[in-house]
Structure formats: structure tokens, C-alpha cells
A and B are shown apart, each in its own frame.
Chain A
Amino acid sequence: AQSVTQLDSHVSVSEGTPVLLRCNYSSSYSPSLFWYVQHPNKGLQLLLKYTSAATLVKGINGFEAEFKKSETSFHLTKPSAHMSDAAEYFCVVRGNNDMRFGAGTRLTVKP
């Protein structure tokens, strides 16, 4: 069965510094992986997805993620954090008929 583990429940960075949100996956076959973001009182918005076309995936708002099969990881990064990036981030793996969510990582951005 597919699953994801987000290694940090809370990450705090200063504005302008890099962001790293970690995600490890478990899958019996080549997975489809996603990162979603949830801002307060908003729905879940897709940041990016991996579908085996390229291991480095670029998403919206300057985020990107690299699929590393040897490490079973799909970490989300951004070179320079912005105040508007403060939100909850979910790593997600696609199952047969559903999406399996990680527990989420709350990103705080300090001025």
C-alpha cells in the first residue's frame, strides 16, 4: 500500500532563506506524488506533481521537488521564503482510488 511520511510537523524559516520540507514515500510501484498547500480558511491547492516524466519537478510560486527513488524521498524546496508561503503543506501519494496524505508540515516564515 502507498503511504507518505512527512518528517517535520513544523518548520520555521526567516524570510529570504531557503525552505526544505521533507517527505518520504512508500509504494509498491512507481508512485504518483504531489505536494498540496493549505492556507488558513482555504482549500487544498496543488503546488506540483511527479508523474515519472522528470525527477525534478517545478511548481507554482517558486517551489520545486526532486524525486529520489534510491532514497524514497520527494522533498519540497524553495530558494527564498516569502511571508505568503506560511501555510500547511501536504505530501500526497496517489493510490488506486484515493490520495494518501501525509500528516502535514506547518511552515512559519519570520520577518
Chain B
Amino acid sequence: EPEVTQTPSHQVTQMGQEVILRCVPISNHLYFYWYRQILGQKVEFLVSFYNNEISEKSEIFDDQFSVERPDGSNFTLKIRSTKLEDSAMYFCASGQGALNEKLFFGSGTQLSVL
């Protein structure tokens, strides 16, 4: 089965630094998503992306965050000026877009902000 791949699997950064989390969605998918899961809490939606623009974002996804599809295959999440509370597992997902279609999730990037 095709896979969504995420790199790195674990990222450690200092508070205030910028990080870029990378994802390679499944090649024929059109919709891309970022989710995060803070330890012990539920999985939270951050943003969805379609046709080279954000289609929906949650209240978590403020100006600190941005997404980009720089080269037609990668899908990145940039977090500027990281804070301690940004520490979480970040999941990328992709799908073909139909309402009843499943999403394929990557194995996540564990971000630790020190």
C-alpha cells in the first residue's frame, strides 16, 4: 500500500528557533493535512491544503505556522519562533478529497522544544 512519509522522525530544537517538518504525500493525492498530538491529548487538526492554498485552518494555526508545497511532491509545515508548548507529535496526511475517502497518515514527527 502507498505510504505518506515524514522526516525527520524526531526533531529537537531550542525555544525561539524555526523548524520545518517535511512530508511526502501519496503521489496522486490532491488534499494535504497537518495534525498534531500533544502528549496525552487528542489529535488536533491544524490545516488542510488544496490546489496550492490553504482550504481550512484551525484556531491553533496562527501566524506562527505556515505550510508550503515547494516542489510538487513535498508538503512542509514551518513553525517559527518555537515555544515549549509546540512540543508534540505532528502528523501529515493526504487524501484524494472525496468526503468518504480515508486519509493516509504518515508516522509522524516528534517535535521536542527545549
Contact = CB atoms under 8 A, between A and B. Distances in A.
Contacts of A97: 31, 48, 50, 55-56
B107 interface: yes
Interface string B52-63: 000110100000
Contacts of B107: 41-43
Interface size class of A (residues with CB under 8 A): 20 to 34
B102 A104 contact: no
B55 A99 contact: no
A8 B41 CA distance: 14
B42 A103 contact: yes
A51 B42 CA distance: 23
Contacts of A51: 100
B43 interface: yes
Contacts of B106: 43
Q: Which are the 10 A-B pairs with shortest beta-carbon distances?
A: A43-B107, A51-B100, A97-B56, A44-B105, A101-B43, A98-B45, A103-B42, A97-B48, A32-B100, A43-B105
Interface of B: 4, 6, 31, 33, 35, 41-45, 48, 50, 55-56, 58, 91, 93, 99-100, 102-108
